[in-house]
Amino acid sequence: MNDNSLLFDHIHIVSEQPGVAAKWYVDKLSASIKGEYELRNAPQITVSLGGINILIRGQRPGENPVVTRGMKEFEGYSSHDEWGTDHFGFRYQGNLLEYCEEIRQRGVTFLVEPWEFTPGNPICYVSAPDGVSIEIVQGR
C-alpha cells in the first residue's frame, strides 16, 4: 500500500446554526464559503480555510446533539478532558502574536491566550461556534 493513497479531505462540524457558524469562520478567520446545499434534510455549508474544507451542517431529523465540554486548564496544558477530538489546529505563517491581536480586534475569543509552548513557538486556542476549539501555532 502506498502511504500517499490516503489524503486529508475535511473536518465535519455539526452546528446548531450552520449559517452563523460559517459566517464566523469567514468574518473572524478570513475563510471563504465554497458551497451551500441541503443534504439528508439538513443545511450544509462548505467553508475553505487554510487549504482544508470545513463542512458545517445542521441537525438532521432524529438527531439530538449535545454540547461539548469547555476547555479546562491543567498544569502546563489545556484540554476538553473527554474522549474524541479535542481540537483541530492551524499553523500561522507569520508573526502569531500580531495575528492574535488582529483576530482579537475581529471579536475572536481566546480559550487559551498566546503563550510560548516551546522556546520561540507560541500557540493559542480560540473558541469557534458550537463548542469547537481551534489551536493556532507559530509556523516555522
pLDDT score of 3: 61
Give the tens place of pLDDT for each residue, 61-83.
Answer: 999 998 888 889 899 888 888 88
Report all structural domains of the chain as residue ranges with CATH numbers, in order of start.
Answer: 1-60 (3.10.180.10), 69-140 (3.10.180.10)
Q: 1 pLDDT exceeds 60?
A: no
Give the residue, 128 or 9, on which the prediction is more confident: 128
For residue 12, give Cα distances in angstroms to 7, 55, 116, 122, 139. 15, 5, 29, 27, 24
Q: Are strands 10-14 and 32-39 parallel, antiparallel or unpaired?
A: unpaired
CA dist., res. 134 & res. 89, Å (int) = 5
Give the tens place of pLDDT for each residue, 36-60.
Answer: 999 999 999 999 999 999 999 999 9
pTM reported for the whole predicted model: 0.87
